[in-house]
Structure 1
Amino acid sequence: MTFSGGEDFPASLLLVGAGRMGGALLKGWLNLGLDPARVHVLDPALSAEMQAFCAARGVKLGAPPAPPEVLVLAIKPQTFEGAAPALAALIGHETLIVSILAGKTLVGTTAYLPGARAVVRAMPNLPAAIGAGITGVVANAAVTSQQKATAQALLEAGGAVVWLDDESSIDAVTAISGSGPAYVFYLAECLTKAGVAQGLNPDVAARLARATIEGAGALLAATPEASPAKLRTDVTSPGGTTEAALTELMGGDALADLIGRAVAAALRRAGQLSG
């Protein structure tokens, strides 16, 4: 991240859509040193909370007087087509478009914004709202190395950034990291229900499930040199309780097969939405 005066600091930025994800990114940019005087927010449905935040931080509301260096698209995908004509009038020849619109391809974005040349498509996930996410990113051929660095700096406000060689990989990113948090939340639900079924107080079961997943994730993050398989083995004593549980989960690759089918279903749906 090279904010606070670095060369990747955008000279001007227009954020279109400041809902949950767009608003979280805006807060992250300002916390990292982006000058609020360089930022405009365009959102006809801006929440009262975000209006107050922008006023307090000196972020301007409405369209900028000149084409921005960067335009970040963070509106609901289904509203893009209707908003596109007004947005197209705000784009300059050198404007970089950073789109986090799910299902909107690079070609599809430029089709609705004919003045746009350089477009970056990003797929963040929900933890990006607290700066703990990961975003898969792909750029079209018009994006320069400097624009790529600017996009990376902006998207890192939400967490890690992974650049993809081909846009076709975006659907797989969507199925793994985009939808993935829901899989983990469901695991927490299932652990809680199992705990209650074994006689635990529901609040205790929920606390145990939540803390277990939080702790396991923290350990995974703290030991990048260890594979998930190695960590699983470390906690599995031969003949112990964990081995007994894993025998049920892994017997005949039952869980692996289920997760594989779930990811494949998500990937198919992502392809349908992009089509």
Structure 2
Amino acid sequence: MIVSKPKLTFIGGGNMATSLIGGLVDKGYPANAITATDPLEASRLKLAQSFGINTSDNNPQACADADVILLAVKPQVMKSVLQGLAGALNHRPLIISIAAGISMDSLAGWLGGELPIVRCMPNTPALVQTGASGLYANSQVSAEQKALAEQILQAVGIVCWLENEADIDVVTAVSGSGPAYYFLVMEIMQRIGEELGLPEEVARQLTLQTALGAARMALESDVDSAELRRRVTSPGGTTQRAIETFESGDLEALFRKAMNGAAERAREMASELAD
């Protein structure tokens, strides 16, 4: 549970901001210490009613006394939003960006100065408080601010600190885009289960529970995933035949190509959005 109560301002009230606010409030963070801004009145009203937080449509005003500002707007509008904030940050609040593809240099340049900034790559399971986030801090971030950033993101899942900003692109390929890989596998497994004769709902439930159970076993086990796979693959059995089929199709090479492609696209986006 978070003990300190610095003032938090979320710029943008979309899904990721909503999940973070919900996680924080659920863990006991005082709602009156949280403000969210959004240009849409309906979004502000929903946030206020759901969590009892403060809302505003005035970004500079909402940031003027904030200890932490969380940037949760679309990457395409980040530049204009940050340029509009530059004059309201003389008190040097901690900036946490959860926008994909915006480099530290771009963030600092648009904000107009050297500020403590943390880049974060969360993923969509944060919406159900089982997220995974990679964080990178610039040299302006103090140890206390790093701890605060970690506490905020831990409200919706696990946090891993990165030593190099370039690793954010790798995190994007592994956990940022990763949920979609698993959704695709689940989609395929359910469809083939139906083709083999299972009713749609039975195939769906068995597929999803199997995915959940496998992930939980891997998280709670004292051995790695490779060893867990070996333990459920009996020689000459059904699982061995399926695994050999995956291996003969070079599944690993396909994943390597896909994840390298995701990391490459993340780097491209950073270049495009810096202009």
Q: TM-score, normalised by structure 2?
A: 0.92
Residue identity matched to 2:263: L
- The equivalent position to 1:153 in structure 2, one of 151, 154, 179, is 151
What SS does the aligned partner of 1:217 have? helix
1:197-224 CA distance string (max 9 Å, x none): 212222222222112111111211221x
| Deviation per residue, 1:65-99 (Å, 9 max, x gap) | 73311000011111112222322233233210000
Instruction: State the aligned residue count.
Output: 267
Cα deviation 1:162-194 (Å, max 9, x = unaligned): 000000111000000000100000000110121
In structure 2, what is the Cα distance between the partners aligned to 1:64 and 1:267? 35
Match of 1:171 in 2: 169
Tell me if structure 2 keeps the 8 A contact 1:68–1:92. no
Identity of aligned residues (%): 35
Rounded to whole Å, the distance in 1 between the matches of 2:114 and 2:227 is 47
Matches within 5 A, 1:69-84: 69-84=67-82
Contact 1:19–1:46 (Cα < 8 Å) also in 2 = no
8 Å CA contact retained: 1:137, 1:164: yes
Alignment of 1:54-69 (within 5 A): 54-55=48-49, 57-62=51-56, 63-64=61-62, 66-69=64-67
Task: Report the Cα offset of residue 56 of structure 1.
Answer: 5.7
**Alignment partners' CA distance in 1, 2:209 and 2:41:** 35
Distance in 1, matches of 2:195 and 2:63, equals 61
Letter in 2 for 1:233: R
Work out whether residues 10 and 70 of structure 1, in 8 Å CA contact, stay in contact via their aligned partners in 2. Answer: no
Match of 2:15 in 1: 20
Change (3 A) 1:98 1:65: closer
Change (3 A) 1:269 1:65: closer
The 8 Å contact of residues 171 and 271 in structure 1, kept in 2 or not, is answered as: yes
Q: CA RMSD in A?
A: 1.6
The secondary structure found in structure 1 opposite 2:159 is strand
**What is the match of residue 39 of structure 2?**
44
- Residues 46 and 226 (structure 1), Cα distance of their counterparts in 2 relative to 1, 3 Å cut: farther
Match of 1:257 in 2: 253
Instruction: Describe the SS at the equivalent of 1:40.
Output: strand
Which residue of 2 is the match for residue 234 of structure 1? 231
Give the CA deviation at 1:157: 0.9
Once the two structures are TM-superposed, the CA of residue 61 in structure 1 deviates from its matched residue by: 1.2
Where do residues 54-203 of structure 1 align in structure 2 (5 Å cutoff)?
Answer: 54-55=48-49, 57-62=51-56, 63-64=61-62, 66-115=64-113, 117-203=115-201
CA offset digits 1:207-261 (Å, max 9, x no partner): 22112111111211221x1100011011100000000100100126x11111111
Superposed CA deviations along residues 24-75 of structure 1, whole A, max 9, x for unmatched, are 1011111222222222111113545x62442464311123373311000011
CA distance in 2, matches of 1:159, 1:149: 15
User: Are the counterparts in 1 of residues 121 and 134 from structure 2 also a CA contact under 8 Å?
Assistant: yes
**Structure 1: stretches of 5+ with no match in the other structure:** none
Runs of 4+ with deviation above 3 angstroms = 55-58
Deviation at 1:150, TM superposition (A): 0.7
